Amino acid sequence: MIRYLTAGESHGKGLVTIVEGFPSNVPIDLEKINLQMKRRQSGYGRGGRMKIETDKAEIISGIRFNKTLGSPISMFVVNRDWENWTDIMSHEKTNKRIEKITVPRPGHADLVGSSKYNFNDIRNSIERSSARETAARVAAGSIARLFLEEFGISVGSYVENIGGIYSKEKYSDYLLMNKTSEDFKAWTLSEKADLSPVRVLDEEQEKKIIRKIKAAKKKGDTLGGTFYVVATGLPVGLGTFMHFDRKLDAAIAGAMMGINAVKAVEFGTGFNAADAFGSESHDEIIKSDAGFGRKTNRAGGVEGGTTTGLPIIVRAAMKPIATLMSPIETVDLASMKSVLARRERSDFVAVPACAVIGESVLAWEIAKFFLDKFGGDSIEETRDNYNNYTRKLNNRLIKNFKKK
Ligand code: EPS
């Protein structure tokens, strides 16, 4: 079983990730981890903080000569901005006058955090609830990605819409219709999205979105959007229907909802399946060279909580960022008077970053279920188990059902 923990405040010294349970000898390329860290920081519409930070994961333990040791892997991501916050974020009591934050932003964890933890300064909630923590999650997800790469599993994403601006072309249809041509492959779509500052696949749409972000910024407003996260190269049989908490899609949905500001998640045709006939909703099974194939992938790669071997297709929605430069109504907890919410530096749009974080959490959940199934103290052992299972899978099934 793999697990990870993150620690760190947004304006503290930095973020810590501890990843535990990976087998030994997994090749680790720090540059690849840092590429993911950089991708998370990108996107048109981000705030001033991203100009200050150059996120990089420093390895503290668990890796030697570019390979995992099987021991806990710990990583540190420095907050460069901390230098400007040493008094406000001091671990020790300070004599300096530190302004207390008393005005909660609707949509952020400010009010619930202060109620629940009995704080008298909203800063105490802001610091951990900030999406800055997702940098530590991407560091963990990057280790999972490197592990999955060894088995030919890759994860990618693209943004479907920001602020209600969609492409005329419905790229998700290619995925759901199980198009196998190179141009429609999930990975090709993701690489294309990487070239866009808003991670979309359509130039016209990109222009419109950038215009809308500029307009939102001018108004002091923010925007949300939807994105697709996909994984390819999966074996049949990760996850199970045997118990609710062993279903892969349930775990993925939980991890996606755990990303800051994500309000909805769907698999395959998702909500649309509720409006269609059964005959339009399922993936017909056909014979293929490999044994079986599917005409379509409307299930999004999971049936009965278990991978079908087809790409995993997850769509998620991110609400607009809660910090508004033209704020909405709230209550000042110090005066108990109605006021406008506090302004503070933030992003205007973070949907492209959210998609990259989505890739990371998806990679993590897949790696977790993969290792639950195949185990192994070294990656060589994992590979033997994986090869043994996948090689025999279809033959075994066909033999089982063969009439004697
Ligand atoms: C973020 C760092 C934060 C925000 C953003 C994400 O930095 P700061 O608060 O210093 O500007 O830019 O967080 C939020 C949008 C939020 O609501 O918490 C990051 O590293 O991704």
Structure confidence at residue 381 (pLDDT) = 98
How would residue 139 be classed by pLDDT, with cut points 50, 70 and 90?
very high
pLDDT in tens, 12-40: 999 999 999 999 999 999 999 999 999 99
pLDDT in tens, 159-183: 999 999 999 999 999 999 998 777 7
How would residue 319 be classed by pLDDT, with cut points 50, 70 and 90?
very high
Structure confidence at residue 395 (pLDDT) = 83
Ligand 1 mean position, distance from CA 55 (Å): 13
Structure confidence at residue 171 (pLDDT) = 93
Of ligand 1's listed atoms, the one at least distance from the Cα of 108 is 17
In DSSP terms, 302 is beta-bridged to 307
| Whether residue 189 has its Cβ less than 6 Å from ligand 1 | no
Residue type, 266: E
45 CB-near residues (< 8 Å, 6+ apart) = 198, 213, 217, 223, 347, 348, 349, 350, 352
Identify the weakest region by mean pLDDT among 172-176, 266-270, 384-388.
172-176
Residue nearest to atom 1 of ligand 1 (CA): 132
| Whether residue 318 has its Cβ less than 6 Å from ligand 1 | no
* CB contact at 8 A, 181 and 173: no
Ligand 1 mean position, distance from CA 398 (Å): 53
pLDDT in tens, 47-98: 999 999 999 999 999 999 999 999 999 999 999 999 999 999 999 999 999 9
Ligand 1 mean position, distance from CA 248 (Å): 30
Rounded-to-integer distance, Cα 311 and Cα 154, Å: 10
Of ligand 1's listed atoms, the one at least distance from the Cα of 11 is 10
Ligand 1 mean position, distance from CA 207 (Å): 25
| Whether residue 347 has its Cβ less than 6 Å from ligand 1 | yes
Rounded-to-integer distance, Cα 205 and Cα 195, Å: 14
| Cβ burial, residue 359 (10 Å; 0-12/13-18/19+) | buried
Ligand 1 mean position, distance from CA 375 (Å): 37
Angle at CA of residue 343, ends 108 and 227, nearest 5°: 50
Structure confidence at residue 397 (pLDDT) = 85
| Cβ burial, residue 338 (10 Å; 0-12/13-18/19+) | exposed
Q: Which of 10, 42, 105, 356 has most ligand 1 atoms within 8 Å of CB, for mutation?
A: 10
User: What average pLDDT does the chain have?
Assistant: 96
How would residue 158 be classed by pLDDT, with cut points 50, 70 and 90?
very high
**What secondary structure letter does DSSP report for 25?**
T
Residue type, 149: E
* CB contact at 8 A, 70 and 23: yes
Residue ranges and CATH numbers for the domains of the chain are 3-388 (3.60.150.10)
Ligand 1 mean position, distance from CA 225 (Å): 17
Region at 247 (left for phi over 0; alpha for psi -120 to 50; beta for the rest): beta
pLDDT in tens, 88-121: 999 999 999 999 999 999 999 999 999 999 999 9
Burial 236-249 (b: 16+ CB within 10 A, else e): bbbbeeeeeeebbb
| Whether residue 10 has its Cβ less than 6 Å from ligand 1 | yes
301 CB-near residues (< 8 Å, 6+ apart) = 231, 234, 267, 268, 307, 308, 309, 310, 311, 312, 313
Region at 65 (left for phi over 0; alpha for psi -120 to 50; beta for the rest): left
What percentage of the chain exceeds 70 in pLDDT? Answer: 100
End-to-end CA distance of the chain: 40
Sign of CA dihedral 24, 32, 234, 247: positive
Ligand 1 mean position, distance from CA 135 (Å): 10
Ligand 1 mean position, distance from CA 130 (Å): 6
Of ligand 1's listed atoms, the one at least distance from the Cα of 130 is 18
Rounded-to-integer distance, Cα 305 and Cα 256, Å: 16
pLDDT at 340 over 90: yes
How would residue 290 be classed by pLDDT, with cut points 50, 70 and 90?
confident
| Whether residue 359 has its Cβ less than 6 Å from ligand 1 | no
